[in-house]
Amino acid sequence: MSIQITGNASPEEAQAYVDYLQVKYNRKLESFYIQLDGESADLTYKFASAPFERIRRITGYLVGTMDHWNDAKKAEEADRVKHFSVDDNAGGMEQL
């Protein structure tokens, strides 16, 4: 993580801000910039990317990955009608 301080903030004060933000949002900081001007402090920060898992709703069930499915269930998913595709340019509409 990179930390930049403009002004007269001590390393302990900067660490207190980092700890506060990471606890409050339950995420790790990627970068942090403190700009002190008298009694005010401007904080600019960026969190590290959070991993996520795609969840699908198939036949009423919420599922994540299909790696534990049997062959019949995988075939059922493959045979489903796809109602929208990014590559689909049906109707002559312009894709933005």
59: left (phi over 0), alpha (psi -120 to 50) or beta: left
Cα–Cα distance for residue pair 34/60, rounded to 1 Å: 48
Q: Which amino acid is at 63?
A: V
18-41 burial, b at 16+ Cβ within 10 Å, e below that, comes to: beebbeeeeeebeebebeeeeeee
- 48-79 per-position pLDDT tens digit: 998 887 787 766 777 777 787 889 888 888 88
List the chain domain ranges.
2-47, 51-80
User: Is residue 7 within 8 Å of 34, Cβ to Cβ?
Assistant: yes
Confidence check: pLDDT of 14 > 90:
no
Q: Rounded to an integer, what is the distance from CA 65 to the centroid of its chain? A: 18
**Average pLDDT of the segment spanning 26-41:** 89
